[in-house]
Structure 1
Amino acid sequence: MTAHPRPRTASRVAAVQALFQAEQREQSLEAVMQEFIRHRLGDPPGAGGFAEGRVPEAEVTLFARILRAAASEAALDSDIAEALPPEWPLLRLDAVLRALLRAAVAEILMPDGPPARVVINEYLDIAHGFFSGDEPGLINGVLNRIAHRRRAGEFSEPR
């Protein structure tokens, strides 16, 4: 991201980090969101960027929108659980993987959000930054199932 900043991707990375932090510290998403906005988003002079836990290119508006959608969507975890293989209950997943799926599904469920394929591709890119194993394949499968169920109209038309 340093050579060609991608603010929307950075916003999504920050949302995953914030969802992870909220779960791990048992904090409200609103409190975590405010902490990120004040201390982790943007890159003030002299700050160390990603190396110091900052997300310099993130767009606050998209970041906040993803978190608010994740906090307000009651069906989020149930959608994810239904799309997972039966032998992988939601709580068995790595906490970063859960946070990534929650952020992605929150965006998929936004009625005026970007196309589902864009959301899936973005979160797959992010997944490759966090995981080097089979996790991106699992994420792709889960997000595709949810997107086809929740946004079927986007998949019934030719590309």
Structure 2
Amino acid sequence: MAKSSQNPSAGKSGRRRPSGLSAARLLAVQALYQISLNKNPPAEVIAEFLEHRVEEDLEGLKHASVNRPLLSQLVEGVSAQTDDLDDMLAAVLDEDWTIERVEILLLSLLRTAAFELSERLEVPARVVISEYVDLANAFFDGQETAFVNGMLDRLAHVLRAEEFGEAAALPDIT
């Protein structure tokens, strides 16, 4: 079940201002969710978010420090590579699950994380996983956070096996 009362980058010990990178990831997932629902062009949604949503409060904090280039890169990249990202995610889903069964907000989050794992190689895989697990925890109550953690861990071990000191465990899915 979705929730809205938690700051996605607040630790268990309390709240802190989200970093510009974390804020960009949060807004990118929201923008991609909006694109999925409304079918608006990514450039239009990015412009709206940069004009209006960046200044909105989240838990009483302004996101004016959002990393705008990262927000644009994530939304444009995920939008351009949706089919490829879905294929990557499908390859690490349990056999009895399909991409079509994944709720759209959760899928938007997973696609964004998969994009970062496959394209933003300068960001360590463990950082990507941690960021998106935090976002899942901010958006959802229940098992979604564990689901995101498991999916991204499996995907990271495939896409970035060398970061984990291993050879790729599954066939190349890119």
State the TM-score, normalizing by the size of structure 2: 0.78
Could you report, residue by residue, the CA deviation over 1:12-63 in whole angstroms, capped at 9, with x for unpaired residues?
000100110000111222221122112211x3xxxx51279x7444211111
Where does residue 162 of structure 2 map in the other structure?
Answer: 153
Could you report, residue by residue, the CA deviation over 1:89-130 in whole angstroms, capped at 9, with x for unpaired residues?
112111110010011111111154401110000000111001
- In the alignment, the residues of structure 2 paired with residue 116 and residue 49 of structure 1 have an alpha-carbon distance, to the nearest angstrom, of 29
Which of 18, 27, 45 aligns to 2:40? It is 27
Aligned in 2, Cα 1:95/1:111: closer, same or farther, shift over 3 Å?
closer
User: 98-107 or 83-92, which moves further after superposition?
Assistant: 83-92
Match status 1:99 vs 2:108: yes
Aligned in 2, Cα 1:55/1:111: closer, same or farther, shift over 3 Å?
closer
User: 9-18 or 56-65, which moves further after superposition?
Assistant: 56-65
Match status 1:70 vs 2:78: yes
Shift of 1:139: 0.7
- In the alignment, the residues of structure 2 paired with residue 5 and residue 97 of structure 1 have an alpha-carbon distance, to the nearest angstrom, of 20
Identity over aligned pairs, percent? 34
Aligned in 2, Cα 1:96/1:111: closer, same or farther, shift over 3 Å?
closer
- In the alignment, the residues of structure 2 paired with residue 4 and residue 39 of structure 1 have an alpha-carbon distance, to the nearest angstrom, of 19
Which of 104, 115, 120 aligns to 2:124? It is 115
Aligned length: 151
- In the alignment, the residues of structure 2 paired with residue 94 and residue 111 of structure 1 have an alpha-carbon distance, to the nearest angstrom, of 25
- In the alignment, the residues of structure 1 paired with residue 105 and residue 63 of structure 2 have an alpha-carbon distance, to the nearest angstrom, of 17
Question: Which letter does structure 1 place at the counterpart of 2:159?
Answer: R
Where does residue 172 of structure 2 map in the other structure?
Answer: none
> Pairwise CA RMSD of aligned residues?
2.0
Structure 1, unaligned runs of 5 or more: none
**What secondary structure is seen at the aligned counterpart in 1 of 2:58?**
helix
Aligned in 2, Cα 1:67/1:141: closer, same or farther, shift over 3 Å?
same
- In the alignment, the residues of structure 2 paired with residue 130 and residue 140 of structure 1 have an alpha-carbon distance, to the nearest angstrom, of 14
Could you report, residue by residue, the CA deviation over 1:113-159 in whole angstroms, capped at 9, with x for unpaired residues?
401110000000111001110111111111111111111111117xx
- In the alignment, the residues of structure 2 paired with residue 120 and residue 111 of structure 1 have an alpha-carbon distance, to the nearest angstrom, of 13
**What secondary structure is seen at the aligned counterpart in 1 of 2:119?**
coil
Structure 2, unaligned runs of 5 or more: 1-6, 8-14, 167-174
